[in-house]
Amino acid sequence: MTQKVAVLGTGKIGEALLSGMIRGGWAPSDLLVTARRQERAKALHDRYGVEAVSNPEAAEAADTLILTVKPQDMGTLLTELAPHIPAGRLVISGAAGIPTSYFEERLATGTPVVRVMTNTPALVDEAMSVISAGTHATAGHLTLAEEIFSTVGKTLRVPESQQDAATALSGSGPAYFYFLVEAMTDAGILLGLPRDKAHDLIVQAAIGAAVMLRDSGEHPVTLRENVTSPAGTTINAIRELENHGVRAAMLSALEAARDRSRELASGNA
C-alpha cells in the first residue's frame, strides 16, 4: 500500500482496524496512530511497529485520516486538526450520528469526507461497516474506505440519508443479540440447566443460525418454518413470543435507536 493512513484516537475499534489493515497488507511504516495517553501510544507502537504521533502531526503527514474518537469528543478533535489538514486530505469518520456536513463545515473547503458506521464484531473480523460519501468524496475515496474496513469484515455502501437506520440495525445490532442470548440463558436456568451449559447451547444455536442465514440463501421465514413442525415445541414458543409483542417491541426499539442517532446528528447530546 502506498497510502499513508493515520488512525486517530486509537481505542478498541481503532486498534482492531489497525490490526486488520496490517494483516490486509498495509506496511506498519505506512500507518500512524494517535492516542490520548502516552502509555497507550507506546503500547500500540510496541505491539504493531507503527509510529505514534500527535494529532496535528498525523494530520500533516497522512494521506487519509480515520477519526475513531467518541462523538462527544469530535468537536474538540476537529478544532485541533483543522489548521493542519491540507485541502484534499481524505477524512473518514467512524463517529455514530455525526453527518459529513459537520466535518465539511469545520475543515477546509472541498475536504472529502466519508462516513462509516462499523460495529464491535470488528474485534473478531466480523464487522459490518456501512459507508457513505460526503459532498466532496469521490468513488475512489469510497473504494479506499472499503479496502480499509473490509480488513475487519464486510462493507456496504448506502446514501447518507440511510445512515441513522443502519446505525439502529447494524451499529447497535450486536447488543440486541447479546440481550437475547442473556434472556435465553436465563430461561435455560429456569428450565433446570446449569448456566454454562445453557450458555453453550444458546451461543452455538446463534452461530449455526447466523451461518445458515448467511450461506443458505434462504429467507429467514423459510428457515424458521423448517424448524416449526405442526403442534410442536417451536410453534408453541413462537406463539408466546407473538402474544408478548416481541416483534412489535423490536420495531419500536429500532425506531428509538434511529431517532437517537438523529438527535446526535442534530447536536442534542
**Tens-digit pLDDT profile for residues 111-129:** 999 999 999 999 999 999 9
Round the average pLDDT of the chain to a whole number and report it: 95
Evaluate if residue 78 carries a pLDDT over 60: yes
d(CA 267, CA 55) in angstroms, rounded, equals 24
pLDDT at site 261: 87
Distances (CA, A) of 55 to 7, 25, 34, 92, 189: 9, 24, 6, 15, 50
Cβ-based burial of 111 (10 A; exposed 0-12, middle 13-18, buried ≥19): buried
Residue 105's H or E segment, with its range, is helix 100-106
Pairing of strands 113-117, 127-133: antiparallel
Q: For 51, phi and psi rounded to 5 degrees?
A: -85, 130
Cα torsion at 234, 236, 238, 242 (round to 10°)? 180
Cell match 453527518: residue? 99
Q: For 39, phi and psi rounded to 5 degrees?
A: -65, -30
pTM for this predicted structure: 0.91
Which of the four pLDDT bands, split at 50, 70 and 90, describes residue 244?
very high
pLDDT at site 43: 96
The residues, ordered by sequence, that sit 6+ positions from 269 with a Cβ below 8 Å of its Cβ are: 72
Strand order of the β-sheet with 31-33 is: 51-52, 31-33, 5-8, 64-67, 90-93, 113-117, 127-133, 153-157
